[in-house]
């Protein structure tokens, strides 16, 4: 009955985490992308002030929440022309990603497309409804029976950013196929290098999808930019008829985002200062770890945005996981993200300053620096 999905992949890391814990200084866990810094006070205060919430929340989102999302997309993503009826809150982004194929009525014989290096929830969604999953980045190779196509920019785990031309090619091909193109954009406020000051494109950008949002949807989360992972605060924005259908199904299923969480999201979306502060914290951690990872001998791929370093030593990822565990460092094997990344590992920069510094020190000490 419950065998449609394999064991949760992080269970495979437990022996290596145990090995890392035997290190004299204990384990430095750089495997999980869960924020560790405090939720900004203004967000906590908004939640507290809204805690008297005896009635059921609106599944489609309060008018104030939807207006805040529309304004944020215009200000921070360069997306104009959105209407409130194109917005829907979700209970974290992973919930929607995992259940979307089922909500769309997909099943055996249908195809869900994901990136070649892919966040784990896309394959989960296909498995839950019995659809086939295909990993392919080239729109020209997407099959004619594809019903749902996921793109992920900035990517998790690889931090790859798609430019406007790449996104437009994806939209054009999805529309040609009559498939829904869903864009997971949860790390869009965390660009590095050339993307540090530039707005990372959204699939809803007029340069990408033209003057219509037909057949496209963007998913966004405040877990990373605002340290709200514990709030399960996210939303989807796209074609109005699609959102209307999803809201109806979610009403039947009781998938409601609590009113106080919606209020907290309104405040978070309206305040840029806390995002700038957190991004600077992550920038400093990233630079410390990046220098050490490179010094050790890792080669970085992509890693243009987001909270991870996607790195390889040119060997099996599990050999690298074991090598890092010997140093008391826990990293994620690339095999968690598909068959196309068997020699990569993912380092997370969401650990505390002390843990990041200790991990960097161990990497340097290992090579005598």
Give 293-352 pLDDT, tens digit per residue.
999 999 999 899 999 999 999 999 999 999 999 999 999 999 999 999 999 999 999 999
**CA atoms of 242 and 216, how far apart (whole Å):** 9
Tell me what pLDDT residue 9 has. 78
Task: Please provide the average confidence, as pLDDT, over all residues in the chain.
Answer: 96
Tell me what pLDDT residue 341 has. 92
Do 41-271 and 9-38+274-366 fall under one CATH topology? no
Q: What is the mean pLDDT of residues 255-277?
A: 97
pTM for the structure as a whole: 0.94
Give 160-187 pLDDT, tens digit per residue.
999 999 999 999 999 999 999 999 999 9
Kindly tell me if the per-residue pLDDT of 1 is higher than 60. Answer: no
Kindly tell me if the per-residue pLDDT of 2 is higher than 70. Answer: no
Kindly tell me if the per-residue pLDDT of 190 is higher than 70. Answer: yes
Give 65-80 pLDDT, tens digit per residue.
999 999 999 999 999 9
**CA atoms of 75 and 89, how far apart (whole Å):** 19
CB within 8 A of 46, min separation 6: which ones? 260, 263, 264, 266, 267, 268
Q: What is the mean pLDDT of residues 22-42?
A: 95
CATH number of 41-271: 3.40.640.10
Kindly tell me if the per-residue pLDDT of 353 is higher than 90. Answer: yes
> In which residue are the tokens 């826990």 written?
330
CB within 8 A of 175, min separation 6: which ones? 181, 214, 215
Q: What is the mean pLDDT of residues 209-220?
A: 97
CATH domain 9-38+274-366 topology: 3.90.1150
Residue 154: asked if its preceding bond is cis (omega within 30°), the reply is yes
**CA atoms of 175 and 195, how far apart (whole Å):** 28
Q: Where exactly are the structural domains of the chain?
A: 9-38+274-366, 41-271
**CA atoms of 369 and 358, how far apart (whole Å):** 14
Angle at 19 between CA 14 and CA 20, to 5 degrees: 95
Q: What is the mean pLDDT of residues 70-91?
A: 96
Confidence at 8, pLDDT banded by 50, 70, 90: confident
> What are the tokens at 282?
């992550």
Q: How many CA within 13 A on the CB side of residue 307?
A: 26
């Amino acid at each position: 009955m419950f065998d449609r999905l394999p064991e949760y992949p992080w269970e495979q890391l437990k022996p290596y985490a145990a090995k890392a814990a035997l290190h004299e200084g204990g384990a430095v866990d750089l495997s999980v992308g869960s924020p560790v810094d405090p939720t900004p006070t203004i967000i906590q205060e908004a939640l507290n002030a809204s805690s008297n919430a005896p009635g059921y929340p609106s599944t489609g989102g309060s008018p104030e929440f939807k207006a805040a999302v529309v304004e944020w997309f215009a200000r921070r993503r360069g997306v104009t022309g959105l209407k409130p009826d194109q917005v829907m809150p979700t209970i974290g982004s992973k919930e929607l990603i995992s259940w979307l194929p089922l909500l769309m009525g997909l099943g055996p014989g249908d195809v869900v497309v994901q990136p070649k290096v892919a966040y784990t929830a896309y394959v989960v969604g296909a498995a839950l409804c019995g659809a086939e999953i295909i990993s392919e980045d080239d729109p020209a190779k997407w099959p004619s029976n594809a019903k749902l196509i996921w793109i992920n920019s900035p990517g998790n785990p690889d931090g790859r950013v798609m430019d406007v031309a790449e996104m437009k090619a994806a939209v054009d091909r999805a529309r040609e196929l009559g498939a829904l193109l869903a864009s997971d954009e949860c790390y869009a406020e965390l660009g590095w290098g050339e993307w540090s000051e530039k707005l990372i494109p959204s699939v809803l950008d007029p340069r990408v999808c033209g003057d219509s949002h037909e057949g496209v949807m963007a998913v966004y989360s405040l877990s990373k930019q605002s340290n709200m992972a514990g709030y399960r605060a996210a939303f989807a924005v796209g074609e109005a008829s699609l959102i209307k259908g999803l809201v109806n199904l979610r009403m039947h299923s009781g998938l409601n985002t609590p009113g106080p969480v919606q209020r907290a999201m309104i405040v978070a979306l309206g305040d840029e200062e806390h995002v700038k502060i957190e991004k600077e914290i992550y920038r400093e951690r990233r630079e410390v770890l990046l220098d050490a990872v490179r010094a050790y001998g890792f080669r970085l791929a992509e890693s243009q945005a987001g909270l991870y370093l996607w790195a390889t030593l040119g060997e099996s990822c599990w050999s690298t996981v074991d090598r890092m565990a010997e140093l008391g460092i826990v990293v994620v094997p690339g095999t968690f993200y598909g068959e196309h990344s068997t020699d990569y590992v993912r380092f997370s920069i969401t650990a505390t300053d002390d843990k990041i510094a200790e991990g960097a020190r161990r990497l340097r000490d290992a090579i005598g620096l």
